[in-house]
Structure 1
Amino acid sequence: MKIGFIGTGNMGRILIEAFIEAKVTSPSSIYITNRTIGKAKAIQEEHPNVNLCRTVEGLISEVDYLFVCVKPLDIHPLLIKLKSQLSKEQCIISITSPLSVEQIESIVPCQVARVIPSITNRALSGVSLITVGQSCTEKTQHDIEKMLQKISTPVYIQNNVTRVASDIVSCGPAFFSFLLQRFIDAAVRETEINEEQATKLASEMLIGMGNLLEKGHYTLPTLQEKVCVKGGVTGEGIKVLEREIGTLFIHLFQSTHSKYFEDIEEVKEQFHLL
């Protein structure tokens, strides 16, 4: 199974390195390219057996599965450029949420899927979100699942929950790392603990909490119940959170969805050119 990656920015590189570490396929069966070829070359320098392709056309001629890891508005012109070179045996896998598999299928003759990864996949953990097109065969779907199972927990989603699922899985690490950093900053500001120690304690706490949830010892509500002793310090902290968080996360989802719908409209304008 030969796998290609067009785009070696943050998420493209995360997938490439996770695939190599998890032995999804051999490095010699991975083909990469990037508009700025130096970014792709930097990956090959670290993983010499990975194939560096100078052109997208050269990459397509080699691979069975093609991950497209470029910006949403760059995908349409790329598909127009490449559609005559793609065969029905190949599969394009987009990693961007504003484009539906149906839109991509309207242009290319090959099979189409969408996979929305997470930075947590670099640690061979977390979730990856899958949507497959009608063009996908059972074998292709099985192959995609098998790839992703080695770096994540694959979850199938429908178009109507694409954004919120992406917010939780893909954006969530950034959101909660921001909150954790503010938690640490406040601890340093209000007490005598230093930033290094506070960061160490908070990071280990988060890892430990994740392990508790992963192993099924507690759910999120029961975690609160077990730690929050009646009349204790934790309870006072929870009162502050209840009072001050308010509609914070409602506004967060409203904002991400607003931007998402803007992106969808921009993408639609491109596809209406057909």
Structure 2
Amino acid sequence: MKIAILGAGNMGLSFSKSFLKYELIKPENLHLITRSKSKISKIAEEFPKSKTSTFDEVTELDADLIIIAVKPPDFQNVVQNIQFRLKENQMVLSIMAGINIEKIQKSLNHPLVVRAMPNSPTLLGMGITGYTAAEGISFSQLINIERLLNSTGRSVYLEDENLLDGVTALSGSGPAYFYYIIDAMIKAGIEMGIEENLSKLLVKQTMLGAYHLINNSEKNLEELIKDVASKGGTTEAALKTFEENHFKEILKQGILNAEKRAKELNS
């Protein structure tokens, strides 16, 4: 398989590294395309056996799969300025947030589009990606796409494309919510007199341990909370403050607003 990445930024390059790590493609069959000439030398240094180009240099694209990894606001500008035409049998995989399959098809005048929403832990091969596909894409083509996506972590196929905006808000944006909570916990530790590096260690290891407990316990989340929150204790004092300030509702509303913004990106 030959793959071209339109928009060789962080996400595009992390996908490329995963494909090469698991030997899903040969380095010489990877074409990395960026808008910035200044980035070419650095990309070529990281991928010495792969082809690197700027958008204006590409007049013909020899690839079975074209991955669109540009930022959503840049998509129309890219479409208007590309010099090549897509061939009938070429597949397109979009990892842009918010822009639906129909809009991509119309913009590129091309029917074979798969839309996916990864998240930043794909950089470590620990991401989760929701994806869906246009009509006319075969099962074997989807399996090939899934193999590629699974190299960056895990993937989930969605029959209903409308759910992808929810995936964007939940797992696509999700890492930032955890970072936000972790940051608040670390700062609380510092305010209590705990040295910053120690506060970071305590919070990060706590998050890691809690994740593994969720994965390895047969108890639900409510039961796990009760295990920590003994009556009249310290945890109960914290949880009571969260409830009084509607923390859970605020968090839920933020995620729903993220979904709303994902839908707006398509307009």
What range is the shorter-chain TM-score in? Answer: 0.7 to 0.9
Q: TM-score, normalized by length of structure 1?
A: 0.85
Secondary structure of the residue aligned to 2:162 is: helix
8 Å CA contact 2:61–2:84 kept in 1: the answer is no
CA shift, 1:147, in A, is 1.0
Residue in structure 1 matched with residue 43 of structure 2 by the alignment: 43
Partners of 1:29 and 1:217 lie apart in 2 by: 45
Q: Higher helix proportion, which one?
A: 1
Does residue 1:256 correspond to 2:246, yes or no?
Answer: no
Q: Compared with structure 1, are the counterparts of its residues 72 and 218 closer, same or farther at alpha carbon in structure 2 (3 Å cutoff)?
A: same
Q: Find the aligned partners of 1:56 and 1:112 in 2 and give their Cα distance.
A: 23
| Matching of residues 174-193 of structure 1 within 5 Å | 174-189=176-191, 191-193=192-194
Secondary structure in 1 matching 2:265 = helix
- Whether the 8 Å CA contact 1:68–1:92 is kept in 2: the answer is yes
| Paired letter, 1:68 | I
* 2:91 alignment partner in structure 1: 91
Of 139, 148, 162, 1:160 maps to 162
Aligned to 1:103: 103
Counterpart mapping for 1:4-43 below 5 A? 4-43=4-43
**Once the two structures are superposed, what CA deviation does each residue of 1:192-238 show, in whole Å capped at 9, x if it has no partner?**
21110111111112122222233455443332122222332222221
Q: Does 1:129 align with 2:126?
A: no
Alpha-carbon distance in 1 for matches of 2:144, 2:29:
15
Give the counterpart letter for 1:131 in structure 2: T
Deviation of residue 56 (structure 1)? 6.2
| Other-structure match for 2:223 | 222
Q: 5+ residue gaps in structure 1? A: 266-274
Note if contact 1:105-1:135 (Cα within 8 Å) is conserved in structure 2: no
Within-5 A mapping of 1:199-218: 199-218=200-219
Tell me the secondary structure at the aligned position of residue 85 of structure 1: coil
SS of 2:173's equivalent in the other structure is: helix
Q: Shift in Å at residue 32 of structure 1?
A: 0.3
Distance in structure 1 (CA, Å) of the matches to 2:27 and 2:111: 24
Q: Aligned partner of 2:232: which letter?
A: G
The answer as to whether partners of 1:31 and 1:59 remain within 8 angstroms in 2 is no
Structure 1 residues 88 and 257, CA, compared in 2 at 3 Å: closer, same or farther?
Answer: same
Amino acid at match of 2:205: E
Per the normalisation by structure 2, the TM-score is 0.87
Cα deviation per residue 1:136-172 (whole Å; 9 max; x = unaligned)?
2222111001111222221123232222211111111
Give deviations 1:15-72, integer Å, cap 9, x for gaps: 2233333433233322101000332431321232232124466485221111111122
Q: How far did 1:264 drift?
A: 2.2
Residues of 2 paired with 1:45 and 1:83: CA distance? 26
Query: Identity of counterpart residues, as a percentage?
Result: 23
What amino acid is aligned across from residue 266 of structure 2 in structure 1?
A: I
CA distance in 2, matches of 1:40, 1:144: 27
Q: Distance in 2 between matches of 1:235 and 1:173?
A: 26
Measure, in 2, the Cα distance between the counterparts of 1:20 and 1:215. 32
For residue 66 of structure 1, what is the amino acid of its counterpart?
I
DSSP 3-state at the match of 2:4: strand
- Secondary structure of residue in 2 paired with 1:188: helix
- Provide the aligned C-alpha RMSD in A: 2.4
Size of the aligned set, in residue pairs, is: 264
Are the aligned partners of 1:184 and 1:202 in contact in 2 as well (CA < 8 Å)? yes
